[in-house]
Amino acid sequence: MATAADLLGSGDDQLEGGVLEAIERAAQASAAQIGLAALAGVVDWAGTATPAHASCPDAGHDARLVARRTKTVRTLLGSIQTTRGYYHCATCRQGFAPLDQRLGVAGTSLSAGLARACALAGAEMPYDTSRRFIATVTGLDLASTSTLARTTRTQGERARDLITAERTAPGPVPGTDIKRPDLCYIVMDGTGAPMLPSQCQGRPGKDPAKHQGRAGTREVKIGCFFTQSGCDPDSGEAIQDPGSASYISTFEPAAIFAVHAKAEYHRRAFDQIRQPIVLGDGAKWIWTIADEQFPHATQIVDYYHAREHLADLTKTLAPVLADPAAFEQALLDHLDLGDTPAIAATVDALDLPQTAPDLVKPAATEVGYFTGHHHRMQYADFRANGYYIGSGPVESACNTIVKQRAKRAGMHWTIQGLDPVLALRTLHQSGRDHILWTTPHT
């Protein structure tokens, strides 16, 4: 057999690449074998202690040793067999293996390390891509696509449970000597996730021609919480405090989302911050939550949504406008000053009932968006105070948490299947993976 040195000296570029990978793979396989043997040794040793009695995990009853049983555990280095004591609790009428609990493999055949790798990959990529990714990186066939999907869901459900448990835990104790940011933001938005028909029964869609009039998506509500300590000294633009963003996500209706939002507000100790600000688009549920849960907050309609509505209004009125661009600019100047009555007056001056009666109603709807949100569109004041006026952070969160994973071509989900994935992605995006995994991440 040619030595690695011979092969690398052959001068054939393509062969060299192939040789390097062959060496790489061989080295990886032997490292895994050595590691696996070490792991098996430790687990074997741990399994040798089998006292005649043990405490049952649920209630601490005295349980009796039944037998030594063998179980296969799949790890990041390959599969190992563990032979450990198996006990039976006569009171609870259930069997258990204390070692499984200690190793974190009770009720599963995947080690914590492999489960974490599967869940991390499954939360980021389609399940089949995840399986191939893990196989390529480890050089081992560790988990089928279905195992990987199931593991991601199990870990995601665990993430949801941990998030819920935090919600009912007592909030942080306010410190007196901590320097707090001056402003905090609660940004809310909704985005549709593509669903299987079974998930949309009895829900009318926007387009009666599609899915037999049924909705094809279900709304995920997203909340983004961040703080601001100041503005850019050169541009005067508001700057989000780096690393200050955390997120919540749910398929639940607005009333439940409101409870989650309030809990996150307290978890973040936002009640200790001078000025809370709620930012959102025109959706009614957002402002209901703002009024009921955050009555002291300043409310701001996303400036870029407002501008889109100005463009829509101009498009609607185009048939009666001599210079649509100039008209839109005039409206924009009013908007920048928060002068929504001037927007209404500009449209009134067109005398639509005389000039274009069919435009009266659509124009009134658009004008109503501005006059109805008047106090949420005081952009000149908001800018002067150094506030954020765009909901960009939450839109990018919708994109990252929901769209990048759930809205790929041909994907259709069940809520049960997608919600755990969103829980994992929400934690990850918030930089809070540590509540799910006890060992530090790499």
CB of 34 to Zn ion, least distance (A): 40
* Residue 89 or 238 having the CB closest to Zn ion: 89
Six-digit token pair at 265?
């507000």
Give which of 93, 88, 91 is closest to 65, Cα–Cα.
88
* Residue 90 or 318 having the CB closest to Zn ion: 90
Residue 27 parent element (H or E): helix 13-48
* Residue 41 or 60 having the CB closest to Zn ion: 60
CB of 118 to Zn ion, least distance (A): 31
Give, to the nearest 10 degrees, the angle between helix 145-168 and helix 127-138: 100
CB of 54 to Zn ion, least distance (A): 10
CB of 56 to Zn ion, least distance (A): 3
In the chain the first and final C-alpha atoms are separated, in Å, by: 39
Residue 178 parent element (H or E): none
* Residue 92 or 283 having the CB closest to Zn ion: 92
Give which of 279, 253, 283, 278 is closest to 372, Cα–Cα.
283
Determine the Cα angle at 165 with ends 162 and 168, to 5°.
155
Gyration radius of the chain's alpha carbons: 29
CB of 424 to Zn ion, least distance (A): 33
CB of 82 to Zn ion, least distance (A): 23
Q: Please give the residue ranges that form the binding site for Zn ion (CB under 5 A).
A: 56, 59, 61, 89, 91-92
Six-digit token pair at 150?
């199931």
CA distance 255 to 368: 26
* Residue 85 or 276 having the CB closest to Zn ion: 85
* Residue 58 or 291 having the CB closest to Zn ion: 58
* Residue 10 or 91 having the CB closest to Zn ion: 91
CA distance 260 to 255: 9
CB of 304 to Zn ion, least distance (A): 59
* Residue 89 or 317 having the CB closest to Zn ion: 89
CB of 49 to Zn ion, least distance (A): 21
Residues contacting 189, CB < 8 A, separation 6+: 221, 222, 224, 280, 281, 283, 286, 391, 394, 395, 397, 398
Give which of 150, 191, 138 is closest to 25, Cα–Cα.
138
CA distance 337 to 237: 17
CB of 154 to Zn ion, least distance (A): 24
CA distance 250 to 425: 12
Six-digit token pair at 389?
């006026």
* Residue 59 or 256 having the CB closest to Zn ion: 59
Give which of 112, 143, 111 is closest to 130, Cα–Cα.
143
CB of 138 to Zn ion, least distance (A): 38
* Residue 61 or 64 having the CB closest to Zn ion: 61
CB of 104 to Zn ion, least distance (A): 20
* Residue 80 or 97 having the CB closest to Zn ion: 97
Instruction: Answer for the pair 108, 140: CB distance below 8 angstroms, yes or no.
Output: no
Secondary structure (3-state) at 298? strand
Secondary structure (3-state) at 254? helix
Instruction: Answer for the pair 407, 398: CB distance below 8 angstroms, yes or no.
Output: no
Give which of 188, 104, 119, 103 is closest to 160, Cα–Cα.
119
